[in-house]
Structure 1
Amino acid sequence: MFLDWLLASFHHLAVFALAGILAAELALTATILDGRTVLRLARIDAWFGLTAAIVVGAGLSRVFFAAKGFDYYAANTFFWIKMALFVAVGLISAVPTFSFIVWRRQVRADAAFRPPAAEVSRLRRALYAEAALFALIPLCAAAMARGYGM
């Protein structure tokens, strides 16, 4: 019982951290991006990737080692929808990550570099798409936890 609580707590804290990081990226890209902000965004995005890996690790630990067990999750439609949403968020997150890497290199080569407005706009659309899909994940988790989708 303690392990189940511990894994659930760790998983939920990581998911909330991921939401906070995504919100920070959205907030920072809402302003005019200078070199310092680009470097900050690149660091924050690295934390996004690390935190996403922690979410996956904690989630898989719950599937295989927590109270409900693999069979519960494998038979649940909402679990698979939740997994598909998480994969979609991960795939979309490649757009901002790639931009941040490119921009970071450009800032290091030229401290006066500013990302073009069109690129920032494209990046923000990707971040909003991530946020919209990410917001659906807790809805699936709540349904799944209550036995819907079985």
Structure 2
Amino acid sequence: MLRALTAVRPAVVAAKSTARANALRSFASSSRRLAGDHHDHHGPPQLYGPGTKDADAIPSDAEQATGLERYQLLGRMEGVDVFDMKPLDASRLGTLAEPIKVQSFYPERLVGCTGFPADSHDVIWLTLNSTLKNHRCPECGSVYTLDVQGDASAHHH
């Protein structure tokens, strides 16, 4: 009986080590396999850097940046402001008839009002959302409205 168990043991150990090796496969190779990418590279661009080749070197931002940071960095290298970070129109006071439009891809956005003329009061943060048509600054009275460019029902909790 003992000899039969010792003869079966190497097969069981090999099966367990194979399962463990499959469980430890990195997520990058898993997603690539699931996407059907077998070196044809027809999927969406990957947003992770190549890293550094030398173990003693310190990687640059271009080599180590990932996700949205890498997306913004690559856009900056091409001269594109991917998140449209220019300030809002502060040349006039927003009124109920003509509010200052704030474009957004999300049905909620945080806006800092500094008054009219610009910097006439401290920053007051307003949360604009798509449920109210207009939002008014309590200090200067400037009116803001949210202009949702994307799907207005995409609000996730």
**TM-score w.r.t. length of structure 1:** 0.24
More strand by share: 2
Larger RCO of the pair (alpha carbons < 8 Å, separation 6+): 1
Larger radius of gyration between Structure 1 and Structure 2: 2
More helix by share: 1
**TM-score w.r.t. length of structure 2:** 0.23
